[in-house]
Chain A
Amino acid sequence: MSNIFSSSIGKKLIMSLSGLFLVTFLLLHVSINLTALFSREAYEAACAFMDTNIFIQIMVPVLALGFVIHILFSIIITLKNRNARPVKYAVGNNTEASSWAAKNMFVLGLIVIGFLGLHLTHFWAKMQLQHFLGHHGENAYELLTRLFGQWYYCAIYVVWIIALYFHISHGFWSAFQTLGLNNSKWIPRLQLIAKLYAIVVALGFISIPVYFWFGLGQ
């Protein structure tokens, strides 16, 4: 284990493990959200579970730490990578193979955390945080109806999730590549799984503002 994290691959190991942890969390998050499509009661029950379950309470700070580590190491790695080419090319890279997402992971990440700040103040701070502090927050379902009743809020939300889609569509398979759990057979397979995973998560999240915008909420 000696000085593994001072190496470039060691730092990417942290990126991949924290990234996989974060995408696993997203699956849980989107599942909770989707209960809102069934009924008000189902969503409120799911929120109550998230507010009171001991495992979730333990995992919230771990999750926050996961975000901090992922963001911190992305900055360290990006800065080092930028320094590797002090003089830039006059003609930009015309290689067709690299996906747009792969080349713009840092920018996509910035978009994701930018809106994440907004999301935490608008939702989390009024929902789960209130329960952790022993207060009674605003009714979660009412909050959804109110915020997603505003077109600009829906628009921001959708843009955010699209950025997240691109980020995951590269990040998911890239994590396995960095862990060394990949080969020529599995590269296209993992890339497909990454796309599918990103589509499921993104569509799941986007369905909520769409549902409420069209006034389907109770």
Chain B
Amino acid sequence: MNFKLKIWRQKNNKSKGRFENYTIENVSSDTSFLEMLDILNDQLICTGQEPVAFDHDCREGICGMCSLYINGRAHGPDDEVTTCQLHMRKFKDGDTITIEPWRSGAFPVVKDLVVNRYAFDQILQSGGFISVNTGGVPDGNAIPVGKEDADESMDAAACIGCGACVATCKNGSAMLFVSARVSSLAKLPQGKIEAKRRAKAMVAKMDELGFGGCTNTQACEAECPKAISISHIARLNREFLCAKLQD
């Protein structure tokens, strides 16, 4: 397969970026999207040009490191996959593919397609955890958890923190990410103890870092590689409002 690539190139955070056009030929339809970029980078290096910088790590859809806004969609034209799980067979031969970094004020571009997602870490550090005293390992079944609660919590915990929700939201809102963390802990007895503090702290941090608010467009849910439901956003709203009203 042959493709025309239109890729965002930006030297560093300070410099002004622009699109560069590339062509890539004889790519197998079974090539993954990142492998296609590897092939392109090989060609660039061989001809003495700067390779395209992009984030990646596990390449099996669980680390949350890959990103890329491909032809107007976070993680490209496939559902419930990360960019590393996307294959070239999802495109047509001869397609022009536009590749942009996540666009969000809270995710500054580091280089080319790499953005700094430290803002997510800061949100987690503000309350996305449970405080545990040191000591021996607790008994496995000492704290019973209902099956439905456990399932709901696990669904939310599937979030890999890739930032596709922010990238695709027209408001650049991080509500799906925050709600996934709040929800996964709120459904468990261990997480309930700090639930109020957690919801307030994480929302305050999210607002402070410049993420937008949720207007319930459901775009995040559609582009989330883990298909995390906006019902978790409803739970976050509930947790937050209840916590605030009790202050």
Contact = CB atoms under 8 A, between A and B. Distances in A.
Contacts of A86: 105
A10 B238 CA distance: 11
B231 A11 contact: no
Interface string B53-85: 000000000000000010111100100000000
A174 B105 contact: no
A182 B230 CA distance: 9
A141 B163 CA distance: 57
Interface string A90-133: 11111111110011010000000000000000000000000000
Interface of A: 1-2, 4, 7-13, 77, 80-99, 102-103, 105, 170, 173-174, 177-184, 187
Contact of B244 (A1, A98, A183): A1
A170 B214 CA distance: 13
B103 A87 contact: yes
Contact of A8 (B105, B207, B223, B230): B207
Contacts of A9: 203, 213, 236-237, 240-241
A174 B215 CA distance: 8
A70 to B, nearest CB: 14
B222 interface: yes
Contact of A84 (B210, B236, B242): B210
A91 B72 contact: yes
Nearest to B109: A87
B153 interface: no
Interface in B194-223: 203-204, 206-207, 210-219, 221-223
Contact of A174 (B171, B216, B223, B240): B216
B104 A84 contact: yes
B72 A7 contact: no
Nearest to A74: B215
Contacts of A85: 103-105, 171-172, 212
B98 interface: yes
Contacts of A12: 213-214, 237
Contacts of B104: 84-85
A108 to B, nearest CB: 12
Contacts of A96: 222
A77 to B, nearest CB: 6
A158 B124 CA distance: 49
Contacts of B19: 90
Contacts of B98: 90-91
Given A180-B238, A184-B229, A88 B103 contact: yes
A180 B212 contact: no
A2 B244 contact: yes
B216 A170 contact: yes
A83 B210 contact: yes
A84 B105 contact: yes
